[in-house]
Amino acid sequence: MWAPLPLCLLSALLATGSALLCEVCDSEGESCSGPLQLCAPSEGTCVKLIAAFNVGTNSFTYTAKSCLEPANCKTENFTLTYGKNITRRVNRTCCDTDGCNSGSIRVPAVSLVPNGWQCPSCYVLGAYLCKNMKPLLCTGAENQCIDIAGTLIMGNITLPKASAGCSFHSSNVLRPGVKKYAQFVVNVVTRVKVNPPTRTGGDNKKP
Ligand SMILES: *[C@@H]1O[C@H](CO)[C@@H](O)[C@H](O)[C@H]1NC(C)=O
Ligand SMILES: *[C@@H]1O[C@H](CO)[C@@H](O)[C@H](O)[C@H]1NC(C)=O
Ligand SMILES: *[C@@H]1O[C@H](CO)[C@@H](O)[C@H](O)[C@H]1NC(C)=O
Ligand SMILES: *[C@@H]1O[C@H](CO)[C@@H](O)[C@H](O)[C@H]1NC(C)=O
């Protein structure tokens, strides 16, 4: 037989039952850890994100974990190559149970084996216009040509950029606009074009 709980205890249980707990932190580097925090009622998902940038021998990695609105949260991975050793790699996972965004998140690996496609490429850090396109041989799963400009804000770091090259995106939804990736990470896309690549051999069959 179900014994009725005192009303105050019942409402306390319902209140804690409806609010999610997520780990919250952000930091340069390949990991971060922070306290579990109670999410706002609108934030029904926990997110964990790693973004890795490489320009020649300079590399920069940023990790963030937070609560996020479910409409903004999508588990996805995204890789872009603009030139030899000029890359951007993003992995983001979303989940909805207490503390589910703890632990590490891996930078997506990209095979360096040419896949038979090529894209126009260029890279300008701190500028919005990319000029002097050069053909780039695509590798691994990167089989789309992307031309993108905008600003990536990670905590107090702001990276304006214009770039073009080979890409792989697991969800294919890159649109101009402001997208919140996590609590301290905002991607502002001012221009984006996605085109099919061309065959390196000159035959025009599309992937
Ligand atoms: C490519 O980047 C990695 C990581 O920063 C570095 O260790 C390596 O030396 C770079 N290779 C070239 C050819 O620049
Ligand atoms: C991430 O990328 C791989 C290919 O590298 C793909 O097979 C996988 O489905 C992607 N994962 C998600 C969650 O989109
Ligand atoms: C993204 O990170 C998760 C957690 O570490 C890992 O399981 C997954 O394989 C990563 N995705 C890619 C494409 O590397
Ligand atoms: C960002 O802020 C952190 C702490 O507030 C500080 O340690 C770091 O130096 C800052 N980074 C930049 C690039 O200003």
pLDDT higher than threshold 80 for residue 25: yes
Q: What is the pTM of this model?
A: 0.82
Using a 6 Å cutoff on CB, does residue 162 contact ligand 2? Answer: no
Give the three-state DSSP class for 11. helix
Can you name the residues that pair with 52 across neighbouring β-strands? 61, 89
What is residue 17's predicted lDDT score, i.e. its pLDDT?
54
pLDDT higher than threshold 90 for residue 205: no
What is residue 207's predicted lDDT score, i.e. its pLDDT?
59
* 108-136: average pLDDT: 87
Token pair belonging to 54? 């490489």
CB 173 within 8 A of CB 75: no
CB 110 within 8 A of CB 142: yes
pLDDT higher than threshold 80 for residue 155: yes
Q: Which of 84, 85, 86 to mutate to test the pocket of ligand 1 (most atoms within 8 A of CB)?
A: 85
What is residue 127's predicted lDDT score, i.e. its pLDDT?
65
b/e sequence 142-175, b meaning 16+ C-beta within 10 Å? bbbbbbbbbebbbeeeebbbbbbbbbbbeeeebe
CATH code of the domain made up of 20-199: 2.10.60.10
Better pLDDT: 183 or 166? 166
